[in-house]
Amino acid sequence: MSAAIQAVELVKTYPGGRGRPPVHALDGLSFEVAAGTVFGMLGPNGAGKSTTTKLLTTLAVPSAGTAAVAGRDIVREPAAVRARIGHVSQGSAADPVLTARENLRLAGRLRGMRPTEARQRADSLLEEFGLAEAANRAAGKHSGGMRRRLDVAVALMHRPQVLFLDEPTTGLDPESRSAMWTEIARLAADGGLTVVLTTHYLEEADRLADRLMIVDHGRKVVEGTPAELKAAAGARSLDEVYAHYAGRRFDTEGAAA
């Protein structure tokens, strides 16, 4: 199986100021994501998850190391990377004044789609994401769950190869969260699309991810399938796995000491 993402010794350092030392957000992070899989990133706040996503989506440049997304180098070919990815950030990207249909068509046109193509793609996604009945309602009047589904649909307008989901269900009620899980699982099952999922919900990661990586202090703590991580930690749930690795010190290879 080919790799949709290859990251090698990624480092991201932010300068200090006013006597404060530099901040090492990433400290030699390496991993691969197989094409057509769901890859989950777990870790506490400040662990480096969001920084990793920013680098891979070309929103920031690494201080050192290399990475390729969909076969394109994130530093040398940022435009090519952006053409091949979709990104759903923690905040909604939809214009609250525009309708769901208008948001989708606008996203398509900004991606270079012709009007007819954008219209057809938008109508298809409205049906797929259960938004057809609310297609002509302003996005700002949608429920939280509907807005998140619209955000994902917008990110899929141009048929990306890799979809980045940064905390996609944060703030949703349990029913809306479950509906979003169903949508993500459907996207993965359709084949071809690679999903990178950043989440704090361990149940979400366990249910959706083919492979998981726990990061802390900008380094990889452990990586494997949910079943492998549970077996290695002698745990019955990812909550127990997370507790098992919490507070560990790690050697220069990023493995548990």
For 1-84+160-171+191-257, give the CATH class: alpha beta
Please say whether the beta carbons of 157 and 108 come within 8 A: yes
Minimum mean pLDDT among 58-62, 106-110, 121-125, 178-182: which range? 178-182
Tell me the pLDDT tens digit for each residue of 36-50.
Answer: 999 999 998 889 999
* Dist. CA 84–CA 210, nearest whole Å: 21
Residue 132 Cα distances to 26, 137, 164, angstroms: 42, 10, 24
Q: Please give the average per-residue pLDDT across 2-21, as a whole number.
A: 91
| Maximal C-alpha separation, the chain | 57
Tell me the pLDDT tens digit for each residue of 58-83.
Answer: 999 999 999 999 999 999 999 999 99
